[in-house]
């Protein structure tokens, strides 16, 4: 029986892999401490923005965004809190993409699908032209 080990994506230490975390137990504890600090700060300062929370708690913005995306922190009742769109970086309140980037992605997928259909039709047309029967001589 082999042990599934790997390197912590955060600190690089070798650890026994866990299906729930890609970091070692020490980093999990550290991240949980950061979560507690941010959570406590937000309970006391609902009007804070993400940069202010980061500055006051010394927790990186990236980690706070991760807490929000994981659903550990809700920004529903926090009017000044927003996260960046993963494509363009504009501030959004929910999801991963802003409306413009979501529309662009949908349009690109639709165009790709249309291009594939055109290519298939063209290939079928070419296949019909290249097929002939012996009687066609």
76-94, pLDDT tens digit by residue?
889 899 999 999 999 998 8
How many Cβ atoms are within 10 Å of 27's Cβ, its own excluded?
A: 18
- Tokens standing for 3? 């042990």
Look at residue 108 in the predicted model and tell me its pLDDT: 92
CA–CA separation, 41 and 63 (whole Å): 15
Look at residue 1 in the predicted model and tell me its pLDDT: 47
Which DSSP category does 18 fall into?
A: B
Look at phi and psi of residue 71 and say left if phi exceeds 0, alpha if psi is from -120 to 50, else beta: left
Query: Mean pLDDT over residues 116-130, rounded?
Result: 80
Look at residue 135 in the predicted model and tell me its pLDDT: 62
Predicted TM-score of the model (pTM): 0.72
The rounded mean pLDDT for the chain is 89
CA–CA separation, 61 and 53 (whole Å): 8
Query: Mean pLDDT over residues 108-122, rounded?
Result: 88
Which DSSP category does 86 fall into?
A: T
Look at residue 131 in the predicted model and tell me its pLDDT: 60
């Amino acid at each position: 029986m082999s042990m599934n080990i790997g390197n912590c994506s955060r600190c690089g230490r070798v650890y026994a892999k866990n299906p729930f975390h890609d970091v070692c137990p020490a980093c999990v504890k550290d991240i949980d401490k950061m979560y507690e600090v941010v959570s406590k700060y937000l309970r006391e300062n609902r009007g804070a923005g993400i940069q202010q929370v980061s500055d006051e708690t010394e927790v990186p913005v990236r980690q706070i965004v991760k807490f929000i995306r994981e659903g550990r922190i809700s920004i529903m009742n926090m009017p000044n809190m927003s996260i960046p769109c993963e494509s363009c970086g504009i501030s959004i309140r929910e999801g991963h993409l802003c409306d413009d980037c979501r529309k662009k992605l949908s349009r690109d997928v639709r165009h790709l699908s249309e291009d594939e259909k055109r290519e298939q039709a063209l290939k079928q047309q070419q296949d019909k032209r290249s097929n002939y029967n012996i009687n066609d001589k």
